[in-house]
Chain A
């Protein structure tokens, strides 16, 4: 449980850092917790181009890199220098998705442990 909460905090920190770099007026973070993972939803009022959304999706769709996530992933949410790196989030999550939303953008991140069971999270069945 402690590990899950710690990871959630780090991911919120990194994604929050990423959004804040775009200087939004509104940022809403919603966290849906399960025993074996969580669903993180982030809403902002930044209107991004299709290309930007695609780039963000690519970063969040990084293949899982356990060797990087388990070691360098510990920097996630701790970086105060330079730009936030969504790619570091991408290695560690089961699924991530970015899309346009009324007057802004929505980021969904799902994370589960070894026993990850998509129906327990709000992940769309076709994306699991």
Chain B
């Protein structure tokens, strides 16, 4: 091993072993780093959970056709004539067909309905989606956990897992009033925590009749031949001039919906975390300056023996980084315990409540961890530099 490496190793070891002498101030630095990591991880896990809920709902092989020039289901209107034209199209339009050569398509409408939470007494807006019987099959990853799907034309509903958990009154077999009519809950479904779990599904005609929306279709879903087929479908539908159509994959539709809210969450989270990080960096600087002051005689002594400035710099820097790593570890552990899987809800698309779980994924942990580490790297650099500039005479005139 080279002499330089040996010097760095022994000085770093001596520094770390001397930490108990400065345990209070070292702990305060680790704690402030942990706090910063917690705050950022909290916001990022919220954004990540929201994105996961929406993005995992979208399939790249399902196309969503919206009418009226909008890119959201609310406000969209796909005229019946357009639907008939699409269903009548022959040849390769990029859409998959059933055994009879028909398109696999579902006409859908989303109605916001009020429901009072039995536990909290709060009224929430929920999304009631009316769909053709093909609708559930056009959702990837859907599992009917209990019961069955709604019957054709019947005032029956199936509820998503998140809704079922939040509203015990929506248990299977219960009758519930949504709008001006009563509905019977006949099933529950799950979709791996995606946004679908925040919806209530019913038969298209029954929903339209209950809310006086006869003949209205907001979106048309159809199965694509493959993930590259959306272009072919767009080209085929470009010939329709009755209404401006927006043809997107379901994945893109939900990604676009998630981006705005997730970015807003990050927009709040980052400045707060950065501001706290600035304070923590000042704290780290103070801690490490105290450390250098505490070790003045030791540093000056080994420098007087012939140890290099480089070794004094690295040893002090490593101490700062080690404390930051400790803070990052504590912060991530605390964040994991506090936030991961925590149930939250917000207003999603269609002005309805959207439930999601905070997600401490690898990206969240890496980003929050790197910010915590940066506190040690930046906050430790200046004190490390000052350690190299200590007057060596300090060793000769020092007491012990």
Partners in one complex: no
